[in-house]
């Protein structure tokens, strides 16, 4: 048997890197390991006990369906995918690897971090994890600067929505996918129209310009602007511009379906 210490040391370094979320999941969304950073990124309560549970126990159907499709594609193709999504109003980028490509079957040190498959009960110290790791993925997530993703700056074109959020990397074998959903965190209090107005104002358009763009009266846009300010505790367009720039929002984000939103 190989010496597990190098694998354990590498695992310890990876799972304790500042700002790096790390999780192990099976093909049914079973949560085998989630580090503290990933808990803070994706869970309402970062102290909840996830062991033996699935992502479906903590997230809505849209989130679960999209993630399971990603996991299945990674496992079917045995190639990693880079996945970009906005969650809790933060731009996140997750790299998803098929675990068999990274871990040998006899790396017992990493196997010790696993938990039962989704829906299976754990008895004592028994582990139900698949010893071959053929149906598992490693997910490494980091928050990214929106400007690094090609998001327009706060002035100029606010970026029209485009059909199809999926993109494939042209200059490498890597596949890059964008989520079809968005979680706006504290901005979820805004109506879809208010979010559009916020984005346009945040990209430097005046109230009359926004009114023309949305085929509404300036009085209507001013009313939306006032409502946005009340809901988000913002005063003036400068504060709105700062927020839109910080979150990295443009109109294509306003067009995305919000996670958990009914049709």
Q: Which two tokens stand for residue 5?
A: 């210490």
Q: What global pTM score does this model have?
A: 0.79
Residue 41 contacts residue 92 (beta carbons within 8 Å): yes
- Give the pLDDT mean for 162-191: 76
Task: Report the C-alpha gap between 28 and 167 in whole angstroms.
Answer: 25
* Residue extent(s) of CATH 3.30.450.20 domains in the chain: 5-144
Given a cut of 60, whether residue 165 has pLDDT beyond it is no
Which residues, 6 or more positions from 58, have their beta carbon under 8 angstroms from its beta carbon?
42, 43, 44, 48, 50
Question: Coil, strand, or helix at residue 198?
Answer: helix
> What is the pLDDT, as a whole number, of residue 95?
97
The neighbouring-strand residues paired with 166 are 177
Beta-carbon neighbour count of residue 4 at 10 Å?
16
Query: Between the CA of residue 28 and those of 137, 162, 244, what are the distances in Å?
Result: 11, 31, 36
Beta-carbon neighbour count of residue 19 at 10 Å?
9
CATH T-level fold of 5-144: Beta-Lactamase (3.30.450)
Give per-residue pLDDT as tens, 14-66: 899 999 999 999 999 999 999 999 999 999 998 999 988 999 999 999 999 99
The neighbouring-strand residues paired with 138 are 24, 97
- The full 3-state SS of 126-170, as one line of letters, equals CCCCCCCCCCEEEEEEEECCHHHHCCCCCCCCCCCCCCCCEEECC
* Residue extent(s) of CATH 1.10.10.10 domains in the chain: 187-258
Q: Pairing mode, if any, of strands 175-182 and 81-87? A: parallel
Task: Report the C-alpha gap between 65 and 238 in whole angstroms.
Answer: 38
Give per-residue pLDDT as tens, 75-115: 999 999 999 999 999 999 999 999 875 554 444 445 444 44
> Nearest 10 degrees: CA dihedral of 199, 164, 188, 239?
-20
Among the listed ranges 221-230, 237-246, 253-262, which one has the minimum average pLDDT value?
253-262
Give per-residue pLDDT as tens, 179-217: 999 999 999 999 999 999 999 999 999 999 999 999 999
pLDDT band at 9 (very low <50, low <70, confident <90, very high): confident
> What is the pLDDT, as a whole number, of residue 133?
58
> What is the pLDDT, as a whole number, of residue 128?
41
CATH T-level fold of 187-258: Arc Repressor Mutant, subunit A (1.10.10)
Residue 221 contacts residue 214 (beta carbons within 8 Å): yes
Residue 14 contacts residue 23 (beta carbons within 8 Å): no
> What is the pLDDT, as a whole number, of residue 4?
65
């Amino acid at each position: 048997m190989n010496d597990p210490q190098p694998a354990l040391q590498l695992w310890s370094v990876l799972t304790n890197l500042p700002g790096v979320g790390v999780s192990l999941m099976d093909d049914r969304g079973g949560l085998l390991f989630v580090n503290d950073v990933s808990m803070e990124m994706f869970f309402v309560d970062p102290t909840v006990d996830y062991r033996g549970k699935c992502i479906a126990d903590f997230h809505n159907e849209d989130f679960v369906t999209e993630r399971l499709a990603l996991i299945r594609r990674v496992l079917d193709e045995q190639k990693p995918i880079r996945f970009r999504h906005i969650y809790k109003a933060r731009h996140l980028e997750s790299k998803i690897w098929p675990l068999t490509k990274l871990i040998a079957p006899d790396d017992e040190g990493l196997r010790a971090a696993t938990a039962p498959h989704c829906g299976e009960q754990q008895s004592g110290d028994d582990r139900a994890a698949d010893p071959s790791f053929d149906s598992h993925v490693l997910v490494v997530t980091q928050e990214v600067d929106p400007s690094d993703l090609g998001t327009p700056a706060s002035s100029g074109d606010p970026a029209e929505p485009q059909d199809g959020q999926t993109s494939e990397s042209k200059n490498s074998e890597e596949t890059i996918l964008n989520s079809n959903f968005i979680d706006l965190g504290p901005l979820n209090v805004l109506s879809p129209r208010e979010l559009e107005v916020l984005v346009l104002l945040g990209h430097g358009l005046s109230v009359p310009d926004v009114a023309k763009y949305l085929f509404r009266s300036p009085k209507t846009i001013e009313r939306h602007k006032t409502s946005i300010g009340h809901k988000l505790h913002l005063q003036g367009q400068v504060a709105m511009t700062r927020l839109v720039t910080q979150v990295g929002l443009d109109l294509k984000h306003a067009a995305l379906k919000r996670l958990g939103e009914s049709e």
